[in-house]
Amino acid sequence: MREIYLDHSATTPIAPEVQTAMLEAMREAWGNPSSMHLFGRRARDLIDESRVTIARALGCLDAEVFFTSGGTESDNMAIFGAARVAPAHRRHIVTTTIEHHAVLHACQRLQEDGWEVTYLPVDPYGMVDPDDVRRAIREDTWLVSVMHANNEIGTLQPIREIAQICRERGVWLHCDAVQTFGLLEVKVDELGVDMLSVSAHKLYGPKGIGALYLRGGVKIAPLLVGGAQERELRAGTENVPGIVGFARAVELCEQLGHEQARHIWYLRERLRQQLQECLPDMQVNGHPIQCLPGILSVTFPGVSAESLLIALDQRGIAASAGAACSAGSIEPSHVLLALGMDESRAMSTIRLSLGRGNTPEEIDIAVEIIAEEVKRLQRRAVASAPVQGI
């Protein structure tokens, strides 16, 4: 059976070049980068080079890049770190209802400590209205956190406009760019953000490594303390092979440039159009244009997403309902509910996320299988529905 991986928003495979670079780092530069001797210096050099690569991609200074254990830590570090340095009279955060749980749960934890949090609504496409941000910012607002693109439906947020507002009001803006970095151009100055989270394993790099961009002058408190690493903002022996792999993965994305996104968008459109033809009652979620090239969130009325995913898995197609992080939960996605979708439709929604390794041929096979399984499940749903009106 042919395996077709359509869950690139959950994670991506490591690119062969990335693996090679990591193995070399493990063999040749395995010292502790804090050691003063040769073994340490070799490792330190690799970290420095990697930081430059990532800074270049983000369009920032290398001193503004801080390595973390991944997107979740970056989000937590930004929010908790900013909160820790807030003056007592500014304990209000503005965020959205569709953020990743790494942001939402961090905000909820701050609420336990007496912070106030405004969760902005989104329109039916999943888009935040910058005017809502403007209205939500108060005298006591300390931080705004809005994701660059949503991980379930792919909608891109108007970060530039939001950043403009934050700047006018003197409020820090954090942006979770885990889904966009590597795929779209993410330049911190163009976006105008103060903090930005990125993760390596979403861009064909290794798991367990990410980074937080902190604009020069944005001084937050560390989350992990106990060592002078990362200019005293993130303690812990550096994950050298992870950092090297991250940088190599970013380099590869840069080399592929727009071609990568174009290829993925082409496949996504091919998938969407063909599915639409076979399954006219399918609903596509998210913004039609302001969206990630690779995410296709679709609702099949009357079909249980869970049953569909299991059926697809048995036929070699890997996809997911909502975010992988909550794949184990049977709760409807908070993102889909925020779009105004009812629970039953939310529970009939799956996410197909494409990557650079997918081929048109795979898409055609996937369409065939998805259409078959959806129709089978719809027939079953009709057959088992209670007879009404007698």
Task: Name which of residues 229 to 248 contact another protein (CB under 8 A).
Answer: 229, 235-242
In this structure, the number of other CB atoms found within 10 A of the CB of residue 181 comes to 28
Judged by CB under 8 A, which of 13, 121, 340, 360 binds another protein? 13
Rounded to whole angstroms, the Cα distance separating 351 from 294 reads: 10
Judged by CB under 8 A, which of 143, 209, 261, 264 binds another protein? 209
Query: 12 phi and psi, to 5 degrees?
Result: -125, 155
Q: Which residues pair with 156 in a beta bridge?
A: 149
> Which string of x and - marks every residue 91-120 that binds another protein (by CB under 8 A)?
---------xxx--xx-xx-----------
- Residue 108: closest CA among 120, 98, 117: 117
- Min dist CB 372 to another protein, Å, is 17
Q: Which of residues 167-206 bind another protein (CB under 8 A)?
A: 199, 201, 206
Residue number with CB closer to another protein (68 or 141): 68
How many residues bind another protein (CB under 8 A)? The answer is 74
> Which alpha helices (H) appear in the chain, and where do they start and end?
16-28, 38-58, 71-84, 101-112, 130-136, 159-169, 188-191, 229-232, 240-256, 258-278, 305-314, 334-338, 343-346, 360-384
Q: Which of residues 55-84 bind another protein (CB under 8 A)?
A: 69-73, 75-76
- Min dist CB 244 to another protein, Å, is 11
Query: Is 325 in the active site?
Result: yes
Q: Which tokens is 372 given?
A: 């078959």
Q: Which residues pair with 353 in a beta bridge?
A: 7, 295
- Min dist CB 386 to another protein, Å, is 29
> Which string of x and - marks every residue 278-307 that binds another protein (by CB under 8 A)?
----------------------------x-
Q: Which stretch binds another protein (CB under 8 A): 9-17, 88-96, 180-188, 291-299?
A: 9-17
Residue number with CB closer to another protein (108 or 255): 108
| 322: contact with another protein by CB under 8 A | no
Q: Confirm if 67 and 213 have CB atoms less than 8 A apart.
A: no
Per-residue HEC secondary structure of 59-93 comes to: CCCHHHEEEECCHHHHHHHHHHHHHHCCCCCCCEE
Q: Which of residues 340-369 bind another protein (CB under 8 A)?
A: none
Residue number with CB closer to another protein (147 or 240): 240
Q: Which residues pair with 349 in a beta bridge?
A: 299
Q: Which of residues 18-57 bind another protein (CB under 8 A)?
A: 19, 22-23, 26, 30-32, 34-40
- Residue 5: closest CA among 351, 360, 316: 316
SS3 of residue 196 by DSSP: strand
Residue number with CB closer to another protein (11 or 283): 11
Judged by CB under 8 A, which of 327, 343, 344, 359 binds another protein? 327
Residue number with CB closer to another protein (192 or 355): 355
Q: Can you count the helices (H) and strands (E) in the chain?
A: 14, 12
SS3 of residue 14 by DSSP: coil
From the list 166, 175, 278, 325, the catalytic residue is 325
- Min dist CB 73 to another protein, Å, is 6
Tokens 């033809």 correspond to what residue? 277
- Min dist CB 100 to another protein, Å, is 7
- Min dist CB 359 to another protein, Å, is 18
**Which residues are the active-site residues?**
325
